[in-house]
Amino acid sequence: MSETTELYYPNRELAKEARIKNMCEYEDLVKWAEEDYEGFWAHYAKEKLDWFELFDEEKVLDESDFPFVKWFGGGKLNVAYQCIDRHLDKRKNKAAIIWEGDRGDKRIITYLELYQEVNRFANLLKNEFGVKKGDRVVIYMPMIPEAAFAMLACARIGAIHSVVFGGFSAEALRDRIIDAEAKVVITADGAYRKDKPYMLKPVVDVALEEETPVEKVLVVERNNEEIAWVKGRDYSYNELIQTQSATCKPEVMESEDPLFLLYTSGSTGKPKGVQHNQAGYILWAQMTMEWVFDVKENDTYWCTADIGWITGHTYIVYGPLAMGATTVMFEGVPTYPDAGRPWKMVEEYRINQFYTAPTAIRVLHKMGEEEPSKYDLSSLKVLGTVGEPIDPPAWKWYYEVVGGGRCAIVDTYWQTETGGHIVSPLPFATPIKPACATLPLPGIFGEILDPQTGERVPVGEKGYMCVTKPWPSMIRGVWGDPERFKKSYFGDVKKNGKPVYFTGDGAVYDELGYITITGRTDDVINVSGHRLGTAEIEAAIKKHPNVAEVAVVGKPHEIKGESIFAYVVLKDDEGLGDEVAEMKAINAVIKSEIGNIALCDDIAFVPGLPKTRSGKIMRRILRAIAKGEPITQDTSTLEDPSVVEKIQTIVNK
Ligand code: WT7
């Protein structure tokens, strides 16, 4: 078998105009970063960012307190200024955001309008709510332009935003509010999905029923459904914004002042507040936009993510706006009114770069195999995927039917913690192969290491996906928990005796040196590209009063990638005549503790769990049973080996 026969080469015509035109240029950049790491980054930081005060050339990277690193010491800037003000000279009338609502309503916001909206918003937060530099603001919003305004308004005044995905429950929202000690929540009454209103403000109300640090709630009235207003706490954005001035001086921020927190799941405990800081983050957001999507001045770029996830932060808001691009924002779902919706939008807006998740590609493929051929998709140049490994059939459909065999596919590998892409093809340089993230981007020292030896793994052998040098957009900390930061990311792999950043993912090299990500090595489940910790789901299920023990594993799923399979031991299974009712009750607890994204597809009520004598649950056995695979592992060391067969009988019936 020759891997090379599977390669797809970049479009020669488009390559002529590309920022990185071929593999020689790629290799030159890689070499530059290898030979003069700090010089490489200092060059781009000067070229790409507008500094109020340039960083100290002696302080490009400070590793003295590794893994707590500092980039661009002494530099002063403002991220909202990077994303808006500096474009006004050349692009004041260019569309910054093109928004389409669920029901087909449209808004186009130019850079000048964005400037005014964000300034008014910033003034509102400052003057009406007393928000100051360093304060935390939780944003719990639907996909409307005000969500982006809110993020940029925080950045403008130096407040730290923490966007919480609108699908999270009141409990999950409250936990994040408390952990971040947020004093303001920005939300909306609700929005529309599949032509029907859905609500957010009532969720905020429940979250704030218990004691929290929140003093004020700002409500954007989007769908004008009836909501409750708490006097002295809740304020209408639509009213307060009227009287705000459209100028607001950007706060002068240090390179390493925090920009935002974004909570994400780990293998243990509660979600962690991943902290990103100013200069390094915005630099890499912009550079990867330029390199990986190769967006041109007149292009229209669309990323379908939700702003509640890192993809929405870096590749709907910060990256595109930092480079002065036109970014499309969509409120609805891709399959409504039918699975042709995205392709209709591509035709209508003449989208040039389209970025989505494998789970969406699988749904669109399954529900509308021929839909793309009904529309004119000839504007497309680059197609992106992110969030989970994409399977070759979905990749090929994306390539052939959506991309017409003409577009580059960039399978971008990264995570909340990396801030931006770390392993990805360059659309007009890298020969690609289906479902392969290919090579580390220039400046990123991504390597697959053997966790035992810290050496690079040989071709074809699975190892740990690591980054061996700190890079500008890397996570700066776990909010309020420096020990957890060290333990979670720098505890597992050492190279030449020095701890390196470990992503939590497994990966393999092929003979070209290309990297294929094989998935998480820890107890994190990836459901439709959403990252969920088994520990988190188990903790939720345990809140059900009749649950004695529970173990949760991921099970391969055609559309979602993985689905959640829970093994539950009930305290009292006398009444277990109605498993369906019990299952519903457990899912109801998950819904209220976390949200719909964490619902279990399967729940097996079992007499016990396979545990070692020291009490550790053998999840590998449970994963095999969920998949219907034979158990290859030695079960004789289990506390009660007979439990395995009992579980198998229950699951297979
Ligand atoms: C996890 C990060 C990165 C934005 C969306 C998710 C998985 C991400 C890929 C890819 C295979 C991928 C990894 C990673 N992942 N991109 N191209 N191929 N797996 O962000 O919630 O922080 O999740 O998503 O497992 O660790 P996140």
| Nearest alpha carbon, ligand 1 atom 10 | 413
For residue 305, which atom of ligand 1 is closest to its CA? 5
| Nearest alpha carbon, ligand 1 atom 14 | 415
| Nearest alpha carbon, ligand 1 atom 8 | 387
Q: Please report which residue ranges of 350-391 form alpha helices under DSSP H.
A: 358-367
For residue 517, which atom of ligand 1 is closest to its CA? 11
Between residues 482 and 577, which one has the greater pLDDT?
482
| Nearest alpha carbon, ligand 1 atom 5 | 387
- Asked if residues 618 and 611 have their Cβ atoms less than 8 Å apart, the reply is yes
Q: Inform me whether the pLDDT recorded for 312 exceeds 90.
A: yes
Average pLDDT over the chain, rounded to whole? Answer: 96
Residue 630 burial (C-beta neighbours within 10 Å; 0-12, 13-18, 19+): exposed
Report the amino acid identity of residue 372: P
Residue 147 CA, ligand 1 centroid: distance in Å: 23
Residue 487 CA, ligand 1 centroid: distance in Å: 20
**Residue 63 domain-assigned?**
no
Residue 311 CA, ligand 1 centroid: distance in Å: 10
Nearest CA-CA partner of 141 in 188, 173, 208, 177? 188
What is the predicted pLDDT for the residue at 281? 99
| Total count of domains within the chain | 1
φ and ψ at residue 471, rounded to 5 degrees: -125, 160
Q: Which residues contact 259 (CB under 8 A, 6 or more apart)?
A: 79, 155, 160, 276, 277, 278, 281, 282
Q: Which residues contact 452 (CB under 8 A, 6 or more apart)?
A: none
Q: Inform me whether the pLDDT recorded for 3 exceeds 60.
A: no
**Residue 621 domain-assigned?**
yes
Pocket of ligand 1 (CB under 6 A): 264, 309-311, 386-389, 411-416, 437, 503-505, 517, 520, 526, 529, 531
Q: How do beta strands 494-495 and 524-527 pair?
A: unpaired
What's the token pair of residue 228? 């409750």
Whether the CA torsion 388, 390, 394, 396 is positive or negative: it is positive
**Residue 123 domain-assigned?**
no
The CATH number given to whatever domain includes residue 558 is 3.30.300.30
- Asked if residues 45 and 282 have their Cβ atoms less than 8 Å apart, the reply is no
| Nearest alpha carbon, ligand 1 atom 20 | 415
Average pLDDT over every residue of 359-371 = 95
For residue 416, which atom of ligand 1 is closest to its CA? 22
What is the predicted pLDDT for the residue at 5? 55
Q: Which residues contact 413 (CB under 8 A, 6 or more apart)?
A: 386, 421, 422, 423, 424, 437, 465, 505, 515, 517
Q: Inform me whether the pLDDT recorded for 576 exceeds 90.
A: no
SS3 118: helix
**Residue 647 domain-assigned?**
yes
**Residue 566 domain-assigned?**
yes
Task: Kindly indicate the confidence band of residue 311, based on its pLDDT and cuts at 50, 70 and 90.
Answer: very high
DSSP helix, strand, coil percent of the chain (3-state; round to 5) = 35, 25, 40
For residue 357, which atom of ligand 1 is closest to its CA? 5
- Asked if residues 222 and 191 have their Cβ atoms less than 8 Å apart, the reply is yes
**Residue 166 domain-assigned?**
no
How far is residue 634's CA from residue 644's CA, in Å, rounded to a whole number?
11
How far is residue 425's CA from residue 382's CA, in Å, rounded to a whole number?
11
Q: Which of the residue ranges 168-182, 256-270, 625-639 has the most confident prediction, judged by mean pLDDT?
A: 168-182
| Nearest alpha carbon, ligand 1 atom 27 | 415
Cα angle at 331 between 330 and 332, to 5 degrees? 100
Give tens-digit pLDDT for 71-105: 999 999 999 999 999 999 999 999 999 999 999 99
- Asked if residues 260 and 276 have their Cβ atoms less than 8 Å apart, the reply is yes
Residue 387 CA, ligand 1 centroid: distance in Å: 4
**Residue 565 domain-assigned?**
yes
Residue 210 CA, ligand 1 centroid: distance in Å: 34
**Residue 629 domain-assigned?**
yes
What is the predicted pLDDT for the residue at 575? 61
* Beta partners for residue 354, in sequence order: 302, 383
How far is residue 396's CA from residue 385's CA, in Å, rounded to a whole number?
12
* Beta partners for residue 519, in sequence order: 506
Task: Kindly indicate the confidence band of residue 452, based on its pLDDT and cuts at 50, 70 and 90.
Answer: very high
Q: Which residues contact 236 (CB under 8 A, 6 or more apart)?
A: 219, 221
Nearest CA-CA partner of 37 in 77, 67, 71? 71
Give tens-digit pLDDT for 246-285: 999 999 999 999 999 999 998 777 899 999 999 999 999 9
What is the predicted pLDDT for the residue at 2? 45
Q: Inform me whether the pLDDT recorded for 4 exceeds 50.
A: no
Residue 648 has a CB neighbour count (10 Å cut-off) of: 18
What's the token pair of residue 95? 């569309």
Nearest CA-CA partner of 547 in 578, 583, 591? 583
φ and ψ at residue 417, rounded to 5 degrees: -70, -25
What is the predicted pLDDT for the residue at 7? 95
For residue 311, which atom of ligand 1 is closest to its CA? 4
Determine the structural domain holding residue 641 and report its residue range.
Answer: 523-652
Task: Kindly indicate the confidence band of residue 580, based on its pLDDT and cuts at 50, 70 and 90.
Answer: confident
Q: What pTM was estimated for this model as a whole? A: 0.96
| Nearest alpha carbon, ligand 1 atom 1 | 415
